[in-house]
Chain A
Amino acid sequence: MYFDFANVLVFLLFGIAFVILNVAVLSRLMRPTIRQPDKDTAYECGEPVIGSSWVRYDMRFYTVALIFIVFDVEVAFLYPWALVFKGLKNAGAPGGGMFVFIEMLVFVAILVVGFLYVWVRGDLEWVKSMPESQSGQGSGSGGTGERAKQRDAAPTARS
């Protein structure tokens, strides 16, 4: 089976060689070399750099990442399930297909409870952590959308 990986190896070697040849060899030979201090600064979309990039991230990133992992794990289990499901349904195991289907149903149902929990509690809403603007805004996002629409509409009406 290691022969299969010869493909990978050739591909890998080719990729590395391609990068080294282009970046380190060819471009060095062809480009003019003019040193300027500005060129050594970090590139941030053309804007002048403000402060350090080591800023404190918001807690919400972490929350979302955690929820992502949870459902990533779920998908990881779905793949082998999908792989064997058809085979078990068609051949060999009478009734096995249905059983496996129920198994996955239970698994997903339990995780959906978790998803519901996160959703209804509003942890997926990105703008919620501004307590002042929170007042009238429940868990539904429809209300916010409507209000935003009104705010947009107001200037056009005046003009």
Chain B
Amino acid sequence: MIPLAESATDPSLAHAFERSLEGIRESVALFLPEAVLTGAICLLIVLDLLMPKRQSRFLMFVALAAVVGAGALIFFMRSTINQPLFNGLIVIDTFASFLHIVLLLGAAIVIALSYVYRDFENRRMGEYYAIMLASLLGMFLMASANDLLMFVIGVELVSIPSYILVVYTKEDRAATEAGLKYVLYGSFASGVMIYGLSLLYGLTGSTNLADVSRFIVGNLDSFTVAVASLMAFAGFAFKISAVPFHWWAPDVYQGAPTPITAFLAVASKAAGFALLIRFLDAAVAGAGESAFHWLNAIAVFAALTMTVGNLAALWQENMKRLLAYSSIAHAGYMLMGLVAIGSSSAAMGGHQVVAFYLVAYLFMTLGAFVCVVAVYNLTGVESMSGYRGLGRRSPMLAFSMTIFLVSLIGLPPTAGFAGKFQLFAAAINSGYLWLAVIGGINTAISCYYYLRVMKVMYLDEPAVEPSSPAFVLDAQGLRWFAGVLVAAVLLVGIMVDLVARVTQHLIIVTG
């Protein structure tokens, strides 16, 4: 008859089971940071039920404490560890730990930013922080995934909460539309990715990245492998908003609440790059010369992404939309660094320069969004008109914004310059001079729209009469917030050596 209910007395199975349990027991202790986040998610939900609505915003401190706690645990427990956990499902290596710290930094800043964001007043915030931490947990898994199954779960755990975060201000029609677009594009992209990954599983018979890597390296010329990998790439490219999977980004970035826009632009993108790097590292790094048409494909994607992002940004009048295109362009720059992933000639490999750039990108982009929030909180405007005369109304805010924009262009002495320099160096060292030239042209183009914001801030007439009381903006805490990020951007820019030395130790362990 149909064997629906066998008794499980099979000794060989029980033996294999016992061996997997051993691996799991050893891993649980090292999984503590993620466990802290999980506990915080449950705690936030329960506390949110107990608290009245007015006080629920103070749950920010619980979320922040969890993030700081997880960061401390990672710093003390994992910073020198390189080993697979849970029988190879995830791997904790320095690369993962570094990205975890980057993600936690981004999340902490976004959590604090949500606390002051004007549209979040009088709203239940416990659920918001819980959902955000769930998304953060997904990003953690993406950064340390070592198994196709973890790829899928990580991406879903990031995506589903972020769909909700985008529509958290659900009576705002723009947010609702943004959320709808995000869900449609996002579920389609993850569907395509899962199809590609399941093809790879079907070909190899294993979901372990090391096995998949061995198979791909042996079959780099196979059309099937190319199709499967391209489909998987579509999912990663959606997360990093690379052309041609970027269509969602401008609308979603514009419609979402600004802290969430920042979260998507920084944390989600960093996690997407982590996953892409893990996959490429598995597929290409061991293959040497024979993988070069894969690298060519990455180079083409990089060139397209930065060009489309920069050209479209030229026409933008909404600040969040402009930053959305800017973030697409930056995804292109980072993809440019990835062509160095297989080369041994460069001083720093592809994943190291991208990790470095992610740090710079985190500070400057979050800084720009802090300024957007400050202006929005005071004027209720996100379009360029709100920035007119900002230099006279709030000199400190305008100065901070200027620094962030200079860093986004990539001029010294900022973090953006240091990061971009390494990306270009990595591309040139790996023999992609043409790509570096395109990157240079794009940087020149990007000057136009970044400088235009500065011109609007300093040279344009303010929208408000200088005599009116609303002329002077007082953004209180946000000014200091932006100031700290300015300091971070400048520090990373000046202390390039230190950050570079840290990132040089990032190694990728698969298997």
Contacts and interface: CB of A to CB of B under 8 A. Distances in A.
Q: Do chains A and B touch in the complex (CB under 8 A)?
A: yes
A94 B260 CA distance: 48
Interface in A74-98: 83-84, 86-88, 90-96
A68 interface: no
B49 A96 contact: no
A84 B24 CA distance: 18
B5 interface: yes
A116 B130 CA distance: 15
A4 B49 contact: no
B49 A116 contact: yes
A120 B7 contact: no
A94 to B, nearest CB: 8
A87 B8 CA distance: 5
A110 B42 contact: yes
Interface in B1-30: 1-2, 5-9, 11, 13-15, 17-18, 21, 24-25
A68 B9 CA distance: 34
Contacts of B494: none
B300 interface: no
B45 interface: yes
Given A113-B46, A116-B49, A120-B49, A96 B14 contact: yes
Nearest to A121: B49
Of A87, A94, A120, A121, chain B has the most CB atoms within 10 Å of the CB of A87
A11 interface: no
A71 interface: no
Given A4-B1, A87-B8, A92 B18 contact: yes
A91 B25 CA distance: 20
A86 B9 CA distance: 9
A99 interface: yes
Contacts of A91: 9, 11, 14
Given A83-B8, A96-B21, A88 B14 contact: yes
A117 interface: yes
A88 B17 contact: yes
Contacts of B7: 86-87
Contact of B15 (A84, A92, A95): A92
Nearest to A120: B49
Contacts, number: 55
Contacts of B5: 83
B113 to A, nearest CB: 25
B interface bracket (residues with beta carbon within 8 Å of A): 20 to 34
A84 B48 CA distance: 37
Interface residues of A, number: 21
Nearest to B1: A4
B14 A93 contact: yes
Nearest to A92: B14
Contacts of A90: 9
A80 to B, nearest CB: 10
Contacts of A116: 45-46, 49
B42 A96 contact: no
A113 B17 contact: no
Nearest to B4: A83
Contact of A99 (B13, B14, B21, B46): B21
B506 to A, nearest CB: 32
Contacts of B6: 83
Contacts of B13: 92
A94 B17 CA distance: 11
Contacts of A83: 5-6, 8
B215 to A, nearest CB: 29
B17 A96 contact: yes
Contacts of A94: 18
Interface in A93-131: 93-96, 99, 110, 113-114, 116-117, 120-121
A96 B1 CA distance: 30
Interface string B38-82: 100010011011000000000000000000000000000000000
Contacts of A87: 7-9, 14
Contacts of B42: 110, 113
A123 to B, nearest CB: 12
Given A93-B17, A93-B18, A93-B21, A113 B8 contact: no
9 contacts: A83-B5, A88-B14, A88-B17, A96-B18, A96-B21, A99-B24, A116-B45, A117-B46, A120-B49
Given A87-B8, A93-B17, 20 more contacts: A4-B1, A4-B2, A83-B5, A84-B8, A86-B8, A87-B7, A87-B9, A90-B9, A92-B18, A94-B18, A96-B14, A96-B21, A99-B21, A99-B25, A116-B45, A116-B49, A117-B46, A117-B49, A120-B49, A121-B49
